[in-house]
């Protein structure tokens, strides 16, 4: 904090965000916002990670100013509430500003309030609005509230969940590179301790939407589902939040950032992602997502089938091309799964062309590889494999809370027992071809020897 507080020109008053806020105990949102903003300004590596997610580079000389209890000079009487904070990032050459609005506990963001703050930002030439709540978004540029393009004209909007903030801090503390300065490390650790306490109001995504049970029942009974119905949109929106929470839970389990794998189209347009996933749910009764785990053999695909009430986890590998026999290719994979519990685990083999891709249980394949390789009387020459866990949730599937709990359990179990042990085949490095003459040391020697061999052949009449 500067010795003498110099407010931005558009503010009438404001307080530098305190690490130890002086506010009423009942005002959890102001307290939480102040602590996060203060930590962002004080811990360099933490601010680097958080602002990188919104496209802002924090260099060693970048100055971050953070304010709470802000009051604008020309206060708009039509705006009854005020933002929870303000961030000013100065690089020396550029200045970037963002209003901060936070909700905690069971309080969700208000569309009307967010729109007011977007208008306020435009009026004062503030670059962005950052919202923080227990709601989730796939990436910070996707917002849990649907906004019109006209609302966003001339201003950026980003969203952080409290779980994202907490997870980023935990990963930094677990990382070998981590936080270099010991005092900053202490501050970040204290922030983690604070937000990890259940009384603060930071929560995981705990249950699906209220329509979940009815949608599951309709899918199971074969009742037609409509992609534009409110119950389908609510179900897909809940699944999107569940997918984000699943990434954060896996991040803390493996101690590296796990993210959702999205197509370029869906990264740019979250509304298109919602539409496409609604179409998939209505037509095929399926919800799905892909988790990107650093250095894993492939993305971890999670597929939820409402008709069969199953959760499938899948990771894929290319078969080793240096092994010609089908059994050798399969045994290469089985060695990687030698310690895996065969319960609910399957291997699917792919061949060239459009032929059927057989799938058999790991337990049966261990006893007899022919059940996969001699499928339906045909020899299978696998070129790729899927390792799949299929978990039937039965009655637990339709429970709003039990479904979320079971999905997390299945994904973690699959990765622990199979996924983390899988390694993609890598071709061997090319070997130096041996010359006929062992003592050839350079190209000139090689040319002389070739000429000598040619002369000898001519002299011999060959």
Residue 3 pLDDT: 47
Residues 6+ apart with CB under 8 A from 421: 336, 337, 339, 340
CB 342 within 8 A of CB 334: no
- Percentage of the chain beyond pLDDT 70 is 90
Q: Which two tokens stand for residue 56?
A: 């802002």
Per-residue pLDDT at 442 exceeds 60:
no
Per-residue pLDDT at 443 exceeds 90:
no
CB 155 within 8 A of CB 97: no
The mean pLDDT value for 351-359 works out to 79
Dist. CA 49–CA 251, nearest whole Å: 15
Residue 234 pLDDT: 96
Dist. CA 327–CA 345, nearest whole Å: 19
CA distances from 265 to 275, 282, 312, 434 (A): 12, 21, 25, 51
Per-residue pLDDT at 455 exceeds 70:
no
CB 315 within 8 A of CB 295: no
Q: Which helix (H) or strand (E) holds 118?
A: helix 111-123
Q: Phi/psi of residue 327, each to 5°?
A: -65, -35
Min mean pLDDT across 166-175, 200-209, 350-359 is at 350-359
Residue 428 pLDDT: 83
The mean pLDDT value for 314-331 works out to 93
Q: Which two tokens stand for residue 54?
A: 């919104």
Mean pLDDT over the full length of the chain:
90
Rounded to 10 degrees, the C-alpha dihedral 149/152/157/159 comes to -40
Per-residue pLDDT at 127 exceeds 90:
yes
The 10 Å Cβ neighbour count of residue 327 is 13
pLDDT single digits (tens) 374-412: 865 556 789 999 999 999 999 999 999 999 999 999 999
Q: Which helix (H) or strand (E) holds 317?
A: strand 310-318
The mean pLDDT value for 287-315 works out to 97
Residue 74 pLDDT: 78
CB 392 within 8 A of CB 310: yes
Residue 433 pLDDT: 77
The 10 Å Cβ neighbour count of residue 118 is 23
Per-residue pLDDT at 264 exceeds 80:
yes
Residue 446 pLDDT: 57
Per-residue pLDDT at 369 exceeds 50:
yes
CB 411 within 8 A of CB 302: yes
pLDDT single digits (tens) 137-176: 999 999 999 888 888 999 999 999 999 999 999 999 998 7
Residue 352 pLDDT: 83
Q: Residue with structure tokens 């949102």?
A: 29
The b-or-e profile of 257-296 (16+ CB within 10 A means b, else e) is: bbbbbbeeebbeebeebbebbbeebbeebbbbbbbebeeb
> Taking the mean position of all CA atoms in its chain, how far away is CA 317?
21
Dist. CA 246–CA 411, nearest whole Å: 9
Q: Is the dihedral of CA 202, 206, 210, 212 positive or negative?
A: positive
The domain ranges of the chain are 11-196, 212-421, 433-462
The mean pLDDT value for 429-451 works out to 63
Q: Is the dihedral of CA 398, 404, 410, 413 positive or negative?
A: negative
pLDDT band at 429 (very low <50, low <70, confident <90, very high): confident
CA distances from 310 to 278, 286, 302, 303 (A): 19, 10, 11, 8
């Amino acid at each position: 904090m500067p010795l003498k507080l110099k407010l931005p020109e558009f503010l009438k008053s404001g307080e530098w965000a305190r690490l130890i806020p002086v506010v009423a105990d009942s005002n959890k949102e102001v307290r939480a916002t102040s602590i996060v903003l203060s930590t962002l300004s004080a811990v360099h590596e933490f601010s680097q990670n958080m602002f990188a997610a919104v496209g802002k580079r924090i260099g060693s000389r970048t100055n971050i100013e953070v304010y709470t209890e802000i009051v604008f000079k020309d206060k708009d009487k039509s705006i009854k509430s005020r933002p929870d904070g303000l961030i000013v990032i100065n690089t020396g050459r550029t200045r970037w500003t963002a209003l901060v609005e936070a909700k905690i506990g069971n309080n969700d963001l208000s569309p009307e309030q967010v729109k007011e703050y977007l208008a306020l930002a435009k009026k004062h030439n503030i670059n962005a609005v950052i919202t923080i709540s227990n709601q989730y978004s796939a990436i910070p540029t996707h917002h849990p509230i649907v906004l019109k393009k006209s609302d966003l004209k001339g201003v950026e909007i980003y969203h952080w969940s409290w779980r994202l903030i907490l997870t980023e801090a935990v990963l930094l503390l677990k990382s070998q590179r981590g936080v270099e300065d010991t005092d900053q490390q202490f501050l970040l650790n204290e922030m983690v301790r604070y937000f990890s306490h259940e009384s603060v109001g930071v929560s995981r995504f705990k249950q699906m939407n209220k329509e979940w049970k009815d949608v599951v029942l309709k899918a199971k009974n074969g009742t037609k589902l409509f992609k534009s119905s409110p119950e389908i949109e609510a179900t897909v929106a809940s699944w999107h939040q569940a997918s984000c929470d699943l990434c954060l839970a896996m991040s803390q389990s493996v101690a590296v950032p796990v993210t959702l794998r999205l197509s370029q189209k869906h990264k740019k347009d979250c509304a298109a992602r919602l539409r496409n996933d609604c179409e998939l749910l209505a037509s095929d009764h399926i919800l799905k997502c892909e988790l990107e785990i650093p250095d894993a053999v492939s993305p971890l695909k999670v597929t939820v089938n409402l008709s069969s009430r199953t959760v499938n986890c899948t990771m894929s590998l290319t078969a080793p091309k240096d092994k010609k026999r089908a059994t050798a290719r399969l045994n290469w994979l089985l060695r990687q799964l030698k310690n895996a519990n065969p319960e609910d685990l399957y291997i699917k083999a792919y061949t060239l062309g459009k032929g059927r891709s057989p799938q058999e249980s790991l337990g049966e394949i261990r006893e007899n590889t022919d059940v996969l390789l001699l499928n339906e009387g045909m020899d299978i020459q696998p070129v790729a494999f899927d390792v799949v866990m299929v978990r039937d949730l039965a009655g637990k599937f339709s429970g709003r809370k039990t479904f979320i709990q079971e999905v997390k359990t299945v994904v973690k179990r699959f990765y622990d027992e199979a996924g983390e042990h899988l390694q993609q085949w890598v071709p061997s490095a090319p070997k130096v071809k041996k010359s006929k003459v062992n003592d050839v040391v350079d190209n000139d020697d090689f040319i002389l020897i070739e000429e000598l061999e040619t002369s000898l052949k001519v002299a011999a009449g060959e």
